[in-house]
Chain A
Amino acid sequence: MKHSTFFWFVLPSAFLMVLFIALPIVSIVMQSLYTSHEQVLEIVESCGPFGCTEETSINQEATQALQAAEPLGKFAGLDVYKDRNHLAFAEIASAWVNADGLPDFGRTLMNLPFYSALVFTLVYTFIVTPLTIILGFFIAVAVNSVAKALKGPTIFLTLLPFIVTPLVGSLAIFWMVDARGILGNGLQWLANDPNLSVKASTPLMWIMLMFYGVWHSAPFAFVVFYAGLQTVNTDSLEAAMIDGANRWERIRYVVIPHLFPLVTFVALIQLMDNFRVFEPIISFAAQAHATSLSIAIFNDLGGETRLLSSAAATSVLTIIGIGILLSPVLVRTYRDFSKPS
């Protein structure tokens, strides 16, 4: 393709990407480096149906004057990143000095909001991503060998978890595992413990969230692998059969190597998606047991006082986290494509 043709071809999407992806990222990076101005407080009398009280309030005029002078806020550098609600350098340093052994240090770390969110996010990502790929692959192989007449309905049913809106899908499961729901009650009966409740136990809640994660995204992996299976060279398969390879060996030595580039693709998408785990925690009301980086951002923006700098800092950290996670896959893809063919 000529360079000028290529340029005009990608211009619209490049423009949209700058507008909707690059500029917002620049904006959150800026936001995360600034904090609010010092609030000028004053004591005023406030009256309402319950009488009058002396209350502290913000002096709007004085605060606005500060704001007008420096509209971006007060430059804070990396202070927001370093504070207790994010990377908590000071707290970690003191915990490292004062901790009574590694387990104690770990407990202190897990007590810091950013690290407990990060631990859950990473555990979730590293358990859900491989399970999704494996499950998706086996579903694809199984569906591929279903009789032709049944294929359509089977594919539709398999895709259902992916089609159902995440919030609705997780709410349906949430009510089933409720202590009075069908699965929750069944679990109590199985364990013979009337007080057992998925929603009350942190380990069970984590398992539940990950189970949901796999259930929801396996169909995505399935669709990709199923499409890939249609392109497997039948000659190679027949040759393998003649050589005496059984079904498993044919999958292991012919199908999997053929699908491997797709595994990279699915892993890439799933790592990005799972690192931003959000909906299931909301709809399982799991915030007492698990928080993720996205939940931390949501909480910063959803409180009565919006913490924009804090949310921006967590967003930047999330982007960095995704970058680190994806770098091995990206490097690999880059090498594959830059190999002289």
Chain B
Amino acid sequence: MRETLLELKGLTKAYPGVVANSDVSFTIGKGEIHALLGENGAGKSTLVKTIYGLVRPDSGTMTMTGAPYAPPEPRAARASGVAMVFQHFSLFDALNVAENIALGMENPPKMNDLAARISEVSEQYGLPLDPDRIVGDLSAGERQRVEIIRCLLQDPKLLIMDEPTSVLTPQEVEILFETLRLLSSEGTSILYISHKLEEIRNLCEHATILRLGKVVGTCDPRATSARDMAEMMVGSAILVPEKEVGEPGPILLELDKLSAPAPHEFGTALNNISVQVRAGEVFGIGGVAGNGQDELVAALSGEMLTAPGMIKLDGASIGHLQPNARRAIGVCAAPEERNGHAAAPDLSLTENALMTGNTRMELSRNGFLDWGKARKFAEKIITTFDVRTPGPENAARSLSGGNLQKFVIGREIMQDPTVFIVNQPTWGVDASAAAAIRQAILDLAASGAAIICISQDLDELMEVSDRFAALNEGRLSPPKLTVGLTIETIGMMLGGAHDMEVAHVEA
């Protein structure tokens, strides 16, 4: 048994309406690589923010090498030897590496000394980085190295890494892992947050699994299969609805070996996705974010065009059609990101209603906009979907996340689409609004539309979908009926697909 570095006892933190952490206890040993595992919204971020002094717990205690530890702010946490690499970097593009690192230090040494230290540390830990390079020219992986070296210069006892591999290429991941293993062998503890199971199995020796703010299990990831961990993450609390399978409608949307290259550097290529969605059916797609969800929505909405024959509506190929041409034939979509993708934050709700509603709701004539009609459409969305706002002339950014989400989903559903694609319909939305949105999706299906619902919330998918499949590395697992789906099978679909991912990377 290792010596204990940090012990958490009964940490609880509640926000209005949601308990982010509830009675969380675990220990991190010296030199241990400890994984913190959980779905989105499981409370991982709140927990590490507590350790890093950004959040104060409502109750519970922390002990660091035997002494009580309760950092009032990150500076105190850093002084106690806790360092953190955030998922989003805070670097200045116009400055060079050494200058960026100096900015984050309390007492920066002279530039020359610092540059020498940086070279030294980067060599020691196998993180190639030139202190004189301008940060703007660095890749995402190199930027992360800047953040890591900034932490290492403080000689941390505990290094927290929040989803570090989400922006890295496979080669960069390997380099990072080597560094982390080296650090661990030198006695630095690492708290590694991720929901990528294979990574954790590769790297970590201990895992704590969070679900809905509670610790639901611990395991040794090296000796536990990805499938078992996925099951723990999902929990046994999934309520599989007893849904009646009605008479299946005609096939509306068909994906036939849909493949597309990644649209940008950190995108995911779509790989041979085939599925048929019938009228009145909700097809649920699960899986961890960044596995092709955005790309699939883009291919279906028309933001990304695909080769002929891969996407068919009523048997006719539609992969070449622009977004508005697809709307005209009844294909509507609601992307995941509300601010700046599904809605323009600085424009009014009326303008946002016009944004996608123009084609189907006939809000213009000969290119001239009918603002009166657009305003009425916006008002209708606001009343029907109970969007809390003083009126349609308000900017989209003035709405809370949940209200804007209701507006965005409502805007598409009110257009009465025949095919509706929605990504993360209730992400960051409070429980009552989420229930309303799910009900609206079910109602739309009942009226005969074919729906693809992409989500990372398995409970949600079990609640709304008739069939279910998992998306992984741009591939879709074979669909299964949701009715009678067991936790084991879901775990296998998620975990099994993860095993596929590794095979894919090695190939």
A binds B: no
Which residues of B are at the interface with A, using a C-beta cutoff of 8 A?
A: none
